[in-house]
Structure 1
Amino acid sequence: MVIQFEQLLADPRHETVVRSAWESFVRGDAGSRGSLRSLVDMSWQRCRKANVDPRRLCGPSPVSSDDFVSLRTNRGDMLEASAPIMAQAREILSETGSLMLLADATGTILNSEGDWRTQDEAQSIHLMPGVNWSEKLCGTNAIGTALAVGQPVQIHSSEHFCEGIKRWTCSATVVRHPLDGGVVGVVDVSGLSGSYSPQSLALAVSTASRIESRMRLDELERRYRLLEQVMGRWDAHGRAAMALFDRRGSLVKANELAQSVVMAGGRVLDLTAIRRVPGLAAGQRGFEPLPALPDWLHAEWLEPLMVHGEHVGTLIVIPQSRLMPSLRSMPASLPETASVADAAPAIAPAPVTSSTSENFAHILTEDPGMLQVIERAELLARSRAAVLLLGETGVGKEEFARGIHANQGPYVALNCGGLSRELLVSELFGYGEGAFTGARKGGMHGKVEAAAGGTLFLDEIGEMPLDLQPQLLRLLEQGEYYRLGETTPRKANFRLIAATHRDLRQEVANGRFRMDLYYRIAVTTLRIPPLRTRPGDIALLAERFLQRSLELHGKPPSRLSARAVQALQAYSWPGNVRELRNVIDGSVLMNLRDAQGRHEVDIEPHFTEGAADTSVPEMAAGNHHEVPSMAEGEEVLIGRAVRASQGNLTEAARRLGIAKSTLYAKMERYGLSRHGILSGG
Structure 2
Amino acid sequence: MDVRDDDQSQMFSRPERDRDVMKHWERVLNGEECSSDALRRLIDDSWRRCLNAHVDPGKYQAPPPLSENSLYSLQQKHGDLLSASTPVMAMARDFLAETGTIMVLTDHSGTILSLEGDHATREEGESMNMTPGASWSETACGTNAIGTAIAVRHPVQIHSAEHYCAGIKRWTCSSTVILDPYDSSVLGAIDVSGLHQTYNRHSLALVVATASKIEGRLAKHEMGIRFRLLERCMHRLTHSSGDGVVVFDRRGNPVKTNERAEEALNQLAVGRIGSRRLDIASISLGHATDDGLPAGLQGWIAPEWLEPVFDNGQRIGTLLTIPIFRPRAAHSSAAPLVAESAAQEPSKLDCVVGKDPALVESVERARQLSKSNVPVLLLGETGVGKEVFAKGIHDCGSAKSAPFVVVNCGGLSRELLATELFGYAEGSFTGARRGGMMGKIEAANGGTLFLDELGEMPLDMQPHLLRVLEEGEIYRLGENAARKVKFRLITATNRDLRKEVTDGRFRMDLYYRVAVTSIRIPPLRDRLSDIPVLSRALLEKLALHHGLPAPQLSAGDLGDLSSYSWPGNVRELRNVLESMLLTGERPRAIIHTDDPQVRGIRPFDAPMHGGEQHMFGIGEVRDSRRLEEAEREAILSAIDGSHGNMALAARSLGIAKSTLYLKLKKFGLDALVERAREVHAKGH
> TM-score, with normalisation over the residues of structure 1?
0.56
Contact 2:174 2:204 in 1 (8 A): yes
Offset at residue 513 of structure 1 (A): 8.2
1:251 aligns with 254
Flag structure 1 segments of 5+ consecutive residues without an equivalent.
326-330, 338-367, 374-393, 399-414, 429-444, 446-454, 478-492, 528-609, 625-631, 643-652
* Equivalent runs, 1:445-594 vs 2, <5 Å: 462-463=452-453, 503-504=491-492, 508=496, 517=506, 519-521=508-510
Offset at residue 83 of structure 1 (A): 1.5
Contact 2:406 2:451 in 1 (8 A): no
Residue identity in the other structure for 2:633: E
Residue identity in the other structure for 1:150: R
Distance in 1 between residues matched to 2:225 and 2:644, nearest whole Å = 51
Distance in 2 between residues matched to 1:92 and 1:666, nearest whole Å = 51
Distance in 1 between residues matched to 2:125 and 2:643, nearest whole Å = 76
Contact 1:147 1:186 in 2 (8 A): yes
Name the SS for the 2:625 alignment partner.
coil
Determine if the alignment matches structure 1 residue 165 to structure 2 residue 168.
yes
Q: Deviations over 1:402-437 (max 9, x none)?
A: xxxxxxxxxxxxx73324xxx549998xxxxxxxxx
Residue 55 (structure 2) aligned to one of 52, 56, 62: 52
Distance in 2 between residues matched to 1:615 and 1:41, nearest whole Å = 76
1:73 aligns with 76
**TM-aligned CA distance change 1:266 to 1:46, over 3 Å:** farther
Name the SS for the 2:87 alignment partner.
helix
Determine if the alignment matches structure 1 residue 240 to structure 2 residue 243.
yes
Distance in 2 between residues matched to 1:513 and 1:208, nearest whole Å = 18
Q: Deviations over 1:427-480 (max 9, x none)?
A: 98xxxxxxxxxxxxxxxx9xxxxxxxxx998997643566x8667779999xxx
Name the SS for the 1:242 alignment partner.
strand
2:179 aligns with 176
Distance in 1 between residues matched to 2:321 and 2:92, nearest whole Å = 46
**TM-aligned CA distance change 1:266 to 1:49, over 3 Å:** farther
* Equivalent runs, 1:28-67 vs 2, <5 Å: 28-33=31-36, 35-67=38-70
**TM-aligned CA distance change 1:117 to 1:456, over 3 Å:** farther
1:676 aligns with 663
Name the SS for the 1:249 alignment partner.
coil
**TM-aligned CA distance change 1:662 to 1:232, over 3 Å:** closer
Distance in 2 between residues matched to 1:46 and 1:510, nearest whole Å = 43
2:224 aligns with 221
Q: Deviations over 1:548-592 (max 9, x none)?
A: xxxxxxxxxxxxxxxxxxxxxxxxxxxxxxxxxxxxxxxxxxxxx
Residue 314 (structure 1) aligned to one of 312, 318, 326: 318
2:286 aligns with 280
Residue 305 (structure 1) aligned to one of 299, 302, 309: 309
Q: Deviations over 1:320-370 (max 9, x none)?
A: 1399x9xxxxx9625469xxxxxxxxxxxxxxxxxxxxxxxxxxxxxx955
Q: How many residues align?
A: 451
1:395 aligns with 404
**TM-aligned CA distance change 1:288 to 1:499, over 3 Å:** closer
Residue identity in the other structure for 1:463: E
Distance in 1 between residues matched to 2:155 and 2:298, nearest whole Å = 34
Name the SS for the 1:102 alignment partner.
strand
Distance in 2 between residues matched to 1:97 and 1:665, nearest whole Å = 60
2:16 aligns with 13
Name the SS for the 1:293 alignment partner.
coil
Offset at residue 62 of structure 1 (A): 0.9
Determine if the alignment matches structure 1 residue 617 to structure 2 residue 624.
yes
1:142 aligns with 145
* Equivalent runs, 1:282-297 vs 2, <5 Å: 282-283=288-289, 286-290=291-295, 292-294=296-298, 297=301
Contact 1:457 1:498 in 2 (8 A): no
Offset at residue 262 of structure 1 (A): 5.6
Contact 2:501 2:507 in 1 (8 A): yes
2:543 aligns with none
Distance in 1 between residues matched to 2:54 and 2:81, nearest whole Å = 32
Contact 1:110 1:130 in 2 (8 A): yes
Distance in 2 between residues matched to 1:195 and 1:475, nearest whole Å = 48
1:113 aligns with 116
Q: Which moved more, 1:97-106 or 1:504-513?
A: 504-513
1:417 aligns with 410
Distance in 2 between residues matched to 1:218 and 1:526, nearest whole Å = 16
Contact 1:507 1:513 in 2 (8 A): no
Name the SS for the 1:143 alignment partner.
helix
Q: Which moved more, 1:13-22 or 1:670-679?
A: 670-679
What is the aligned-residue RMSD (CA, Å)? Answer: 5.0
Distance in 1 between residues matched to 2:663 and 2:278, nearest whole Å = 53
Contact 2:406 2:450 in 1 (8 A): no
Distance in 2 between residues matched to 1:316 and 1:227, nearest whole Å = 13
2:136 aligns with 133
Offset at residue 95 of structure 1 (A): 2.3
Residue identity in the other structure for 2:24: A
Offset at residue 89 of structure 1 (A): 1.8
Offset at residue 202 of structure 1 (A): 0.8
Offset at residue 153 of structure 1 (A): 0.9
Contact 1:60 1:137 in 2 (8 A): yes
Q: Deviations over 1:513-538 (max 9, x none)?
A: 879836422565799xxxxxxxxxxx
Name the SS for the 2:51 alignment partner.
helix
**TM-aligned CA distance change 1:499 to 1:247, over 3 Å:** same
* Equivalent runs, 1:329-368 vs 2, <5 Å: 333-335=372-374
Flag structure 2 segments of 5+ consecutive residues without an equivalent.
268-275, 330-369, 377-396, 419-428, 430-438, 443-448, 467-479, 517-613, 669-684
Distance in 1 between residues matched to 2:103 and 2:208, nearest whole Å = 12
Distance in 1 between residues matched to 2:32 and 2:635, nearest whole Å = 87
Offset at residue 109 of structure 1 (A): 0.6
Distance in 2 between residues matched to 1:118 and 1:145, nearest whole Å = 22
Name the SS for the 2:260 alignment partner.
helix
Offset at residue 494 of structure 1 (A): 14
Contact 1:508 1:515 in 2 (8 A): no
Determine if the alignment matches structure 1 residue 82 to structure 2 residue 85.
yes
Offset at residue 91 of structure 1 (A): 2.1
Residue identity in the other structure for 1:190: S
**TM-aligned CA distance change 1:138 to 1:276, over 3 Å:** farther
Residue identity in the other structure for 1:287: G
Name the SS for the 1:333 alignment partner.
coil
Contact 1:146 1:172 in 2 (8 A): yes
